[in-house]
Amino acid sequence: MSRSSRIAALVSIVAAAGCYTVPISTNVATNPGMKVTSEASKLNVLWITPLPPETSAELLADLMEQCGNRGVTGVTIGTQVGFAVIGQQEKIVATGYCVE
């Protein structure tokens, strides 16, 4: 196999790996009303101070409060991580719809 063929094969493999996506679960909103959003973010300095595990539960409680405790449907929670030299910026966003 020639060197250019090996390079082309390597480029193809890297390109295919870069296009890999992980499926996520979704749910269908029943009786969707007003859309509500809650988010939390934090700079995790030196990777020793991450967002606490109960952050998602707190965001869900905030969504319920925004809906006047009538109920929330179609809830989606997403995370974003941005890397920096001294750590990473973490962000969790929860969205949903108030039940009418």
| pLDDT tens digits in sequence order for the chain, 100 residues long | 677 777 666 555 555 444 344 444 455 655 678 899 999 999 988 888 888 989 989 999 999 999 998 888 888 888 888 888 888 888 999 999 998 7
Name, in order, each residue with C-beta under 8 angstroms of 92's C-beta and a sequence gap of 6 or more: 39, 40, 41, 51, 55, 56, 59, 77, 78, 79, 80
pLDDT for 17: 46
pLDDT at site 49: 86
Q: Which residues pair with 78 in a beta bridge?
A: 93
> By C-alpha distance, which of 40, 36, 38 is closest to 74?
36
Encoding tokens for residue 77? 């929670």
Around 2, how many Cα atoms within 13 Å sit in the side-chain half-sphere? 3
